[in-house]
Amino acid sequence: MELKDLLREKRAVILKRWFDLILETYPSETSSFLKKQKNQFSNPVGHTISEGIEGLFDGLLEESGTDGISPFLDNIIRVRAIQEFTPSEAIGFIFLLKKVIRESLQREIRDHRLYDELEGLDSRIDDLVRISFDIYMQCRERLYELKADEVRRMTFRLLQRANLVREIQD
């Protein structure tokens, strides 16, 4: 038996546990809301995370390249970057997948001696972390640019109101 087969077999269990662990990274009130509210319009964050981890998991199994996985990562990381998570907190959810896989398949991995396949999967998960960090930094840079632009606009408007800005005549 191959690790991919076991992962496909336990896909629903792994995804549910991973989703629950990700939600535990939020404050308890937020986590409760995200778990209870299933409607994608009432709970866009929960929906984004759920869809994202499904795409990531399937991409890992199919060994999709960066182009196939990046959109799912981007959606989740973008939300977490806006929510003021630190870089380690924002991308730490990816490491939780390793934990869930080991918890869910510990006996099967040992019995079928799938350590080499597990090491390969771990390496692909580590690649996700590197990609995620780049995405997080791009999102944060964009947020800072937007904030700086807003401060410039506000300052200019204040200077205009105080009649401290004059138009230059040609």
Structural domain contains residue 121: yes
pTM confidence score: 0.82
Q: How far apart are CA 5 and CA 138, in angstroms?
A: 36
Structural domain contains residue 166: no
pLDDT at 23 over 80: yes
Residue 19: alpha-carbon gap to chain centroid: 11
CATH number of residue 29's parent domain: 1.10.490
**Structural domain boundaries, residue 69:** 3-161
DSSP string, 93-143: HHHHHHHHHHHHHHHHHHHTT-HHHHHHHHHHHHHHHHHHHHHHHHHHHHH
Structural domain contains residue 170: no
Structural domain contains residue 21: yes
The pLDDT assigned to 14 comes to: 97
**Structural domain count, the chain:** 1
pLDDT digits (tens, 9 = 90+) for 86-101: 899 999 999 999 999 9
Phi, psi of 60, deg, nearest 5: -65, -40
Structural domain contains residue 167: no
The pLDDT assigned to 33 comes to: 84
- Collapsing DSSP to helix, strand or coil, 24 comes out as coil
Structural domain contains residue 168: no
